[in-house]
């Protein structure tokens, strides 16, 4: 039977049927054989035996007047029972019937809940990382939503564990190259026979160290994003003000490349995690600086678009750009666009995509400044609609 409710009702129906069958069988036997049946005599004997434990002066009739009543046992005729004996016999029968009904009820519950017990045994016997879905073909109908929800949880846990294992493998792979470069440049600096060569090796060592530090920061941001950790919670954010603060962080680096950082647009507000949006902006500007041309322009623009006045932030560079067929791919983890002038980690834009999705935003790409380069626009939900 597929329904747990059906199992319970069937089992309880059998219990009630058995509970009624016992007195009906006794009544039928009494009507058929009368008081001369052997079991009837046995019941009378039980009643007389139990009545023997009562006080000897109990009597159903009253003897004497006044405020006191005296009772005396009256011998019963052969094959019949006195009133106390009948009451005691009924009590014994009721007790026996209650015990039988209780045992049958316990058996009915055990039989009805057998699928749950089988399921629990199967779960307990699983290996720690076994995420195989639980079978739901043979379980009762009432348990299928629970099994489906549990299987959905198993799938999410399995996806999370797979992502974690993949992240560890990718992180180890990505860190191996800069760490090896640090080792090589350190050895070159130690073996340099002139101050000029030593200074060049130390300069390269610092460059690799900066790239490694940036990679480690991105990996930490990626792990934080995957874990769903948000330090400050959601609040109203002015994208123009936040962009101005982030641009100030890149001023020295932009000046070193001769690149101008331009902030344009108008104030626009979103609701989100300010730390996450800061990471998004940093990676967008960092991507523009890496792939834009030297002595070029990086434009950061805030505004609103459409009838819903959806706020957006976009960053445009004037570098060589990215082939159109790779626009979607660059937001995948550890993907590096072909022909990139400056090698990247392949993490920054995946962080942008993850943070945008976390805030209900969408990403649009296109050509950058002066019909060249690369443009990334992140559009967020309007505060009016939210």
**Structure-token match 């629990």, residue found:** 120
Is residue 302 a contact partner of residue 312, using CB atoms and an 8 Å limit?
yes
Residue 346 pLDDT level (bands cut at 50, 70, 90)? confident
Is residue 284 a contact partner of residue 251, using CB atoms and an 8 Å limit?
no
**Which residues share a beta bridge with 304?**
311
CA end-to-end span of the chain:
48
Average pLDDT, integer, range 29-54: 68
- Can 157-225 and 232-379 be said to share one CATH topology? no
Predicted TM-score (pTM) above 0.75: no
Q: Is 366 exposed, middle or buried (0-12, 13-18, 19+ CB in 10 A)?
A: middle
Q: How far apart are CA 265 and CA 302, in angstroms?
A: 5
Please report the pLDDT score of residue 67 as a whole number.
Answer: 43
Q: Which fold has domain 232-379?
A: Heat Shock Protein 90 (3.30.565)
**Structure-token match 């440049």, residue found:** 185
Please report the pLDDT score of residue 72 as a whole number.
Answer: 44
Q: Is 52 exposed, middle or buried (0-12, 13-18, 19+ CB in 10 A)?
A: exposed
Q: How far apart are CA 182 and CA 188, in angstroms?
A: 10
**Which residues share a beta bridge with 68?**
none
Q: Where are the alpha helices (DSSP H) in 34-82?
A: 38-51
Query: DSSP readout, 211-277?
Result: HHHHHHHHHHHHHHHHHT--SS-EEEEEHHHHHHHHHHHTHHHHHHHTPEEEEEE---EEEEEHHHH
Q: Which fold has domain 157-225?
A: Helix Hairpins (1.10.287)
Residue 384 pLDDT level (bands cut at 50, 70, 90)? low
Between 66 and 118, whose confidence is greater?
Answer: 118
Q: How far apart are CA 339 and CA 321, in angstroms?
A: 9
Q: Which three-class secondary structure string do you get for 63-74? A: CCCCCCCCCCCC
Residue 342 pLDDT level (bands cut at 50, 70, 90)? low
Please report the pLDDT score of residue 376 as a whole number.
Answer: 93
Average pLDDT, integer, range 291-314: 88
| Domain range summary for the chain, segments of one domain joined by + | 4-112, 157-225, 232-379
Query: DSSP readout, 154-212?
Result: HHHHHHHHHHHHHHHHHHHHHHHHHHHHHHHHHHHHHH-SSHHHHHHHHHHHHHHHHHH
What SS3 class is residue 386? coil
Asked which of 21-35, 157-171, 259-273, 322-336 is least confident by mean pLDDT, the reply is 21-35
Q: What are the tens digits of pLDDT across the range 233-270? A: 688 999 999 999 999 988 888 898 899 999 998 889 99
Between 96 and 29, whose confidence is greater?
Answer: 96
């Amino acid at each position: 039977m597929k329904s747990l409710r059906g199992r319970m009702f069937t089992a309880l129906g059998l219990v009630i049927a058995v509970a009624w069958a016992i007195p009906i069988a006794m009544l039928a036997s009494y009507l058929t054989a009368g008081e001369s049946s052997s079991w009837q005599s046995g019941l009378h004997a039980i009643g007389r035996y139990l009545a023997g434990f009562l006080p000897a002066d109990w009597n159903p009739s009253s003897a004497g007047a006044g405020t006191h009543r005296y009772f005396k046992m009256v011998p019963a005729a052969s094959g019949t029972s006195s009133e106390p004996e009948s009451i005691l016999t009924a009590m014994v029968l009721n007790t026996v019937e209650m015990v039988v009904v209780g045992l049958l009820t316990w058996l009915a519950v055990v039989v009805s809940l057998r699928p749950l017990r089988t399921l629990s045994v199967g779960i307990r016997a699983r290996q720690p990382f076994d995420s195989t879905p639980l079978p739901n073909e043979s379980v009762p109908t009432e348990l299928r939503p629970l099994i489906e929800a549990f299987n959905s949880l198993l799938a999410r846990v399995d996806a999370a564990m797979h992502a974690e294992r993949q992240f560890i493998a990718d992180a180890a792979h990505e860190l191996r190259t800069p760490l090896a470069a640090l080792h090589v440049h350190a050895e070159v600096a130690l073996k340099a026979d002139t101050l000029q060569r030593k200074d060049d090796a130390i300069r390269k060592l610092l460059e690799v160290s900066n790239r490694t530090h940036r990679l480690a920061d991105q990996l930490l941001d990626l792990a934080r994003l995957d874990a769903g950790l948000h330090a400050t919670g959601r609040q109203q954010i002015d994208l123009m003000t936040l962009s101005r603060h982030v641009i100030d962080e890149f001023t020295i680096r932009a000046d070193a490349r001769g690149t101008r950082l331009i902030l344009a647009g108008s104030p626009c507000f979103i609701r989100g995690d300010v730390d996450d949006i800061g990471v998004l902006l940093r990676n967008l500007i960092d991507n523009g600086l890496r792939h834009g041309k030297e002595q070029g322009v990086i434009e950061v623009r805030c505004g609103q678009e459409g009838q819903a006045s959806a706020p957006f932030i976009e960053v445009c560079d004037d570098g060589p750009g990215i082939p159109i067929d790779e626009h979607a791919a660059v937001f995948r983890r550890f993907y590096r666009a072909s022909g990139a002038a400056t090698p990247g980690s392949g993490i920054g834009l995946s962080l942008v995509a993850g943070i945008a999705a976390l805030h209900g935003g969408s990403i649009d790409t296109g050509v950058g400044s002066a019909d060249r380069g690369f443009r990334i626009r992140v559009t967020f939900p309007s505060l009016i609609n939210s």
